[in-house]
Amino acid sequence: MDIFVQIYTMLNIILFGKPGSGKGTQAEFIKEKYELVHISTGDLFRQNIKNQTELGKLAQKYMNNGDLVPDSVTIGMLKSEVESNIYANGFLFDGFPRTVDQAVSLDKFLDKKNLRIDLTIAIDVNEEILIERILNRGLTSGRKDDQDKIKIKNRFDEYNSKTSLLEDYYKNQNKFKIIDGYGNIEEITKRLYNQIDQFI
């Protein structure tokens, strides 16, 4: 019998946000307050590659060849992380899914475990404000893509083209919410908590 088959009590959230929106900072607050396991695809990649797991070696091979890592590898890492935290209060997905195909794969995987995505939240901030934030960050981050306005806009274009489809996907399930990303960190955090608490 699958050890995941249980009375559904988990809280599973997906957090969306453009580069510079403060998504990473807010993810940490949400993780702590609701005692969720934070699954960041960026962290998963680094962890698997560093630990030389089979999936990490496979991902590194694609990256070394200049190829995109297939969804199957990314989802394999994500599945492993979920299955190693079976007694968690829930999961906070950050950086995944990025496409509708990934969202469908995630839903199918969670469904097999008697789990589901409960809520998806997008932090909305005007792009001109984000550009200013990122350029300022680039003064100290050392990241070249934080110092080039064209590259920043390209990142926004990629995000918009993919996330707009995800927005429709989750809206059809009545699971997509948008919060205002203006203001200081505490104000934004409070809006996120209010949205999550309404669901709970």
Evaluate whether 85 touches 4 at the Cβ level (below 8 Å).
no
Q: What is the pLDDT of residue 7?
A: 45
pLDDT tens-digit readout, 126-146: 999 999 999 998 888 878 888
Helices and strands per DSSP (H, E), number in the chain: 8, 5
pLDDT tens-digit readout, 79-103: 999 999 988 999 999 989 988 999 9
- CATH numbers and ranges of domains, the chain: 11-199 (3.40.50.300)
pLDDT tens-digit readout, 51-62: 999 999 999 998
**Counting Cβ atoms within 10 Å, is residue 45 exposed (0-12), middle (13-18) or buried (19+)?**
buried
Q: What is the pLDDT of residue 143?
A: 80
Give the single-character DSSP code of 45.
H
Residues 6+ apart with CB under 8 A from 94: 14, 15, 23, 24, 27, 38, 39, 40, 41
Q: What is the pLDDT of residue 13?
A: 98
Q: What is the pLDDT of residue 192?
A: 98
